[in-house]
Structure 1
Amino acid sequence: MVAQLIKNKTNLYDTDYNLWILETVKKLEIRDFNSVDWENLIEEVLDLSKRDKRKLQNLLKRLCEHLLKLKYWEWEIERNKKHWRGEITNFRQQIQYQLEDSPSLKPYLAEIYSQCYGDSRKIASQKSGLPLNTFPESPIAPLEQILDENWLP
């Protein structure tokens, strides 16, 4: 198949992504650097960083959302507090695992904290049915406290 694609001058990256990865790995393993599709490989490696950042952003948003629900959604607290606390623990652990793998992303959390909190505030309002102004505009705690496994609002 690869030979046919080369003959037809078709880019394997565009036609069979999985096969492109396998072939690229083979080329790198045997040090056949001249035939590596460098343009797409560089794009993919850069995209790995974007994916890690997006994952951290989503985890931080979900963490803030559940902390807000735990603190402000009073009529659901008895029914849902165990679930929310479990989710809070889960999101904190996932953030910690991401930071263990890529410690250089820790400053990124500080950069996106305000935006994530603002997004979480809107989501908590929509899910709870509570007015948006129920949830403070400023974060309910500093980032370090939000990430602290022993802290709950």
Structure 2
Amino acid sequence: MVAQLIKNQTNLYDTDYNLWILETVKKLENRDFHSVEWENLIEEVLDLSKKEKRKLQSLLKKLIEHLLKLTYWESELERNRNHWRREIRNFRQQIQEELIDSPSLKVYMIEIFDECYQKGRRLASDASGLPLNTFPEKPESFCGAFGNAPLEQILDENWLP
């Protein structure tokens, strides 16, 4: 049946992505390099990097959001403190796992930190209903007073504001 599907499909990549993956893996395992759709394979490999970067960016924004809520959303602090702390620990652990798997992403995280801080700040404002200016405009104002660089401070598992 798979052979018939392949025969009937002019471009398996566009019509059955999962089957395209399975067939491509089979071709690579069999060293059948002449029949590999190289353009699509290259595109997919590049896409893996993009997905890892998006995941890291999302985790960093969520981490910042929860740190800001823990610090500034006083009316909900008593009820949500433990939940926010758990989320903070979880996001930090996930970020560390990503960086263990791909240490080169540390450079990317440094590049996107300021943008992620601003997005996390807006998310905290949206979630809390507090005005955006409640939250420090610059990450240094939020955590720089504690001695470390802001990103280093935010990722420090032993630090809570």
> TM-score, normalising length from structure 1?
0.96
Corresponding residue for 1:23?
23
1:151 to 144, 152, 159: 159
SS at match of 1:56: helix
Residues 3-33 of structure 1: CA deviation (Å, up to 9, x unaligned): 4456556111011100000000000001000
Judge conservation of contact 2:9–2:15 (CA < 8 Å) in 1: no
- What is the alpha-carbon distance in structure 2 between the residues aligned to residue 5 and residue 38 of structure 1? 20
Q: Could you tell me which runs of 5 or more consecutive residues in structure 1 were left unpaired when the two chains were aligned.
A: none
1:132 CA displacement: 0.6
- 2:67 is matched with 67
- Tell me the residue number matched to 2:103: 103
> Displacement of 1:76 after TM fit?
0.6
Q: 1:86 to 1:7 in 2, by over 3 A?
A: closer
> How many equivalent pairs are there?
153
- What amino acid is the match of 2:45? V
Whether the 8 Å contact between 1:5 and 1:11 is mirrored in structure 2 is no
Counterpart of 1:106 in structure 2: which amino acid? K
Partner SS for 2:113:
helix
Tell me the C-alpha RMSD between the 2 structures.
Answer: 1.2
Q: Which contiguous aligned blocks of 4+ residues in structure 1 show a shift greater than 3 angstroms?
A: 1-9
Question: Once the two structures are aligned, what percentage of the paired residues are identical?
Answer: 77
Asked whether the equivalents of residues 145 and 151 of structure 1 are also in contact (C-alpha less than 8 Å), the reply is yes
CA–CA separation in structure 2 for the residues paired with 1:123 and 1:98: 23
Q: Is the 8 A contact 1:2 1:12 kept in 2?
A: no
Query: What residue identity is the alignment partner of 1:64?
Result: I
Cα distance in 1 between the residues matched to 2:5 and 2:123: 47
Identify if the C-alpha distance between structure 1 residues 79 and 7 changes in structure 2 by more than 3 Å, giving closer, same or farther: closer
C-alpha distance in 1, partners of 2:84/2:3?
Answer: 54
Quick one: distance in 2 between partners of 1:21 and 1:6? 12
- Gapped regions of structure 2 (runs ≥ 5): 144-149
1:87 corresponds in structure 2 to 87
| In structure 1, distance between residues paired with 2:7 and 2:70 | 61
